[in-house]
Amino acid sequence: MPIIVDPHGYVLETAHHAYAIGLTPEKELALRYWGPKLPHRDDYPPLPRHEGWASFNGAEHVTPHEYPTYRGNKFTEPCLKTTFADGVRDTWLTFQRAIIVDEEDTLTLRFDDDHYPLRVYVVYRLLADIDVIERYVEIQNHGDTPITLERAFSAMWHLPPAGRYEMIHFTGRWFDEWQMQRDPLPRGITRLDSKRGTSSHHHHPAALFAHPHTTETHGECWFATLEYSGSWALLAEHTDFDTVRVSMGVNDWDFAHRLEAGASFIAPSVFVGYADGGLQDASQRLHALARRKVPHPQQLRPVLYNSWEATAFHVDVQSQKRYADIAAELGVELFVMDDGWFHGRSSDAAGLGDWFPDPKKFPDGLKPLIDHVKALGMQFGLWIEPEMVNPDSDLYRAHPDWALHYPTRARTTARNQLVLNLARPDVQDYLIDTLSRLLSENDIAFIKWDMNRNLTEAGWDGPEPKEVWWRYVEGLYRVWGTLRDRFPRVIWQSCSGGGGRADLGILRFADQVWLSDNTEPTRRLPMQHHYLMLYPPNTLEAWVTDMGWEQMPLTFRFHVSMCGSLGVGANITRWDDAQQAAARDLIAQYKAIRHIVQQGRVYRHEPDPRGGYYALHFVSADQRECALFVFRAYSPEPAHPYYVTVRGLLPEARYGAAALGISRSGTGWAHVPLRFDLQPFESRLYVLKAEYDGEYHDF
């Protein structure tokens, strides 16, 4: 049984790890232990006695509370901050009882405020096989007057004391997403957040905490990721007592939630884990987690074509058919029409909101194009941006009040568009109806769901205006979730002007995400490398393009995009016969290895910034096949070798790589380095296969 009740509290054991909690004398929940699973049950320590420090820091200030509230002599960052109807702002939660549901591997602890009718359930759910623990809270009002929540984070967790920690996180901006940062945690509070209504291009709602000596393959790390796509916050507090406490949840900036009598607030889940095999070990647990979330985890992703970078808004039935003809010849399986197809849309100045085909461009609707694409043996996909409206649209003229706004302020446009208020049920219903019609009237296998700006003038005329941020995201999830359930075969892509909404929350609705509008291959290499720290390759959509880098070898460009779910976004009408033939071969090669790439385990190699090298390999789920990619981006260094070993194979099976003329054991591949001397923009792809003649070779 993974949830163990012991004399000191509860021990949550996953396949390799353990998390032990207990109650303080005041009946508050605190951490006892987090790390590798220990051999004996009595190895798990009781809660240490936390002594106070002078009158300024009582014992409660230094106790590693699991869900601290703002109250008493405790001045570290709380998870919960409330205001009761009488103006009291302290919350004192004491333990009432624990509920263990074994079949669900769930431990729920109930806490009640000792004066007010506020109840909090702190929930732990074990994903034991992947060594991850899900945590969230449900906050209930059992009284008859509203209670205001001013912060309602999902969880707090504590790193083992006395360690030195670095925080690994991801920053960026539009066109420049997925930059990895690794910073020592300074004393004080480090805050990462988004105030934009989406998870954002700028910070990502996930982080890893590692010792300075932890590498890709060795050492311990602790990680957390939030299942939420709206404004969020992570606080990492390195205290004056040399402890580190980290909390995460819906952003409390411009946040208030009026918890009505009888109502409850469920915070989004945060998933935490510990790994002792380096960052790669943490990544594999995070990948397993994300694979459980996506709507179609087993389905191999088709190779797609999208003409956005080639045509921008200039799409019509004739020109799209021409792209489709060539795409089919290349071996593309899914033809996606991007922006520009709907009513009045010839630039970004008009049309958003009017989700029906533009009569000038598609006089007979989408059917003639869809039929053409299907006759070529491809599926059809379509771009939409449902949350947005251009002031120049029929929808806006009919419902100007549907856009987020303050009656007394000008409406800020960005890319000439406003944001529909998805917190409103009537807006949600309208989108569900409109998009359901689009999807039932047309044979659409794939939807690219875009969002090209952030929320401003977030007005809301409910009793608590600040609820709008939360309600917007709930509304988005309702719309997308309803469509996903009504049209279960559709594959969805989440895009937000590139990677503005590529998070675990959205991956419950979308199978894949768009990493960045920057498709230049040497910029993509680090972005993909970093994205793959958190998310699996079947969720990573990558196109081969030519927006000024057509001089780079086609093979290099393809290889970069073959490290995820391959797409082509180049102007293929300009490709000559030789380029088309090369592309056809590369797409065929990808199809032969995509099960390894998309469904396999990813092993990243330490990049070599001096030589411009990147490498990664994918090992199939059954460990019988492996695809190794090595790249050299531009580097002025002359000759510069790079060494690669191939980890993760079955140690005793024998694997051959025909193109290298090498055959050796899995242990051999892991320990005998391969040397690469590549030129700038040169890349290699090798496939290793276990040799089988009735029995895998034993050494």
Which residue lies nearer to ligand GLA by CB, 341 or 575?
A: 341
Q: How far apart are CA 414 and CA 587, in angstroms?
A: 37
Which is the catalytic residue, given 358, 450, 511, 546? 450
Among 209, 287, 227, CA closest to 536? 287
Extract the tokens encoding 4.
């163990």
Q: Which amino acid is at 96?
A: Q
Q: What share of the chain is helix, strand, coil (3-state, %, to 5)?
A: 25, 35, 45
Site for ligand GLA in 528-567 (CB under 6 A): none
Q: Does 308 bind ligand GLA (CB under 6 A)?
A: yes
| Of 177, 281, 517, 625, the one binding ligand GLA by CB under 6 A | 517
> Helix count (H) and strand count (E) of the chain?
12, 39
Chain centroid offset of residue 54 CA:
44
Tokens 């207990």 correspond to 22
| Residue 698 among the catalytic residues | no
Asked whether 368 and 326 are in contact (CB, 8 A), the reply is no
Rg, the chain, Cα only = 27
| Residue 325 among the catalytic residues | no
Query: Which stretch, 65-73, 495-503, 602-610, 647-655, contacts ligand GLA (CB under 6 A)?
Result: 495-503
Which residue lies nearer to ligand GLA by CB, 345 or 466?
A: 345
3-state secondary structure of 181: strand
Q: What is the dihedral sign for C-alpha 309, 313, 317, 319?
A: negative
Site for ligand GLA in 578-617 (CB under 6 A): none
Tokens 């690994």 correspond to 168
| Of 105, 387, 450, 511, the one binding ligand GLA by CB under 6 A | 450
Which is the catalytic residue, given 339, 358, 517, 546? 517
Site for ligand GLA in 337-366 (CB under 6 A): 338-339
Which residue lies nearer to ligand GLA by CB, 497 or 648?
A: 497
Site for ligand GLA in 89-128 (CB under 6 A): none
Q: Does 390 bind ligand GLA (CB under 6 A)?
A: no
Instruction: Kindly provide the residue ranges of all beta strands, DSSP E only, lying in 307-345, ordered along the sequence.
Output: 334-337
| Of 514, 590, 613, 655, the one binding ligand GLA by CB under 6 A | 514
| Residue 315 C-beta: closest distance to ligand GLA, Å | 11
One character per residue 254-293, x = contact with ligand GLA (rule: CB under 6 A): ----------------------------------------
Extract the tokens encoding 434.
């409109």
| Of 452, 561, 589, 599, the one binding ligand GLA by CB under 6 A | 452
Query: Which stretch, 225-233, 297-305, 491-499, 554-562, contacts ligand GLA (CB under 6 A)?
Result: 491-499
One character per residue 415-434, x = contact with ligand GLA (rule: CB under 6 A): --------------------
| Residue 444 C-beta: closest distance to ligand GLA, Å | 16
Total residues interacting with ligand GLA, rule: CB under 6 A: 11
| Residue 339 C-beta: closest distance to ligand GLA, Å | 3
Query: Which stretch, 159-167, 256-264, 493-501, 547-555, contacts ligand GLA (CB under 6 A)?
Result: 493-501
Nearest-CB residue for ligand GLA: 339
Extract the tokens encoding 22.
């207990």
| Residue 316 C-beta: closest distance to ligand GLA, Å | 16
| Of 121, 124, 341, 383, the one binding ligand GLA by CB under 6 A | 383
Which residue lies nearer to ligand GLA by CB, 122 or 495?
A: 495
Instruction: Kindly provide the residue ranges of all beta strands, DSSP E only, lying in 411-538, ordered along the sequence.
Output: 418-419, 446-449, 491-494, 512-514
| Residue 499 C-beta: closest distance to ligand GLA, Å | 9
| Residue 312 C-beta: closest distance to ligand GLA, Å | 8
Exposure letters 252-286 (e unless 16+ CB within 10 A, then b): beebbbbbeeeeebebbbbbbbbbbbbbbbbbbbb
Among 91, 75, 229, 237, CA closest to 152? 91
Among 370, 249, 273, 354, CA closest to 317? 370
Which residue lies nearer to ligand GLA by CB, 383 or 590?
A: 383
Asked whether 467 and 250 are in contact (CB, 8 A), the reply is no
| Residue 305 C-beta: closest distance to ligand GLA, Å | 13
Q: How far apart are CA 374 and CA 370, in angstroms?
A: 6
Which residue lies nearer to ligand GLA by CB, 450 or 511?
A: 450
H, E, C per residue of 607-645: CECCCCEEEEEEECCCCCEEEEEEEECCCCCCCCCEEEC
Which residue lies nearer to ligand GLA by CB, 567 or 611?
A: 567
Asked whether 288 and 133 are in contact (CB, 8 A), the reply is no
Q: Which residues pair with 380 in a beta bridge?
A: 335
Which residue lies nearer to ligand GLA by CB, 384 or 562?
A: 384
| Residue 279 C-beta: closest distance to ligand GLA, Å | 29
Which residue lies nearer to ligand GLA by CB, 193 or 338?
A: 338
| Residue 431 C-beta: closest distance to ligand GLA, Å | 18
Exposure letters 602-637 (e unless 16+ CB within 10 A, then b): bbbbebbeebbbbbbbbbbeebbbbbbbbbbbebee
Q: Which amino acid is at 401?
A: D
Rounded to 10 deg, the angle between the 521-534 and 554-561 helix axes is 20
| Of 167, 495, 527, 568, the one binding ligand GLA by CB under 6 A | 495
| Residue 452 C-beta: closest distance to ligand GLA, Å | 5
Which residue lies nearer to ligand GLA by CB, 381 or 600?
A: 381
| Residue 416 C-beta: closest distance to ligand GLA, Å | 11
Q: Does 497 bind ligand GLA (CB under 6 A)?
A: yes
Give the catalytic positions in this structure: 450, 517
| Binding-site ranges for ligand GLA (CB under 6 A) | 308, 338-339, 383, 450, 452, 495, 497-498, 514, 517
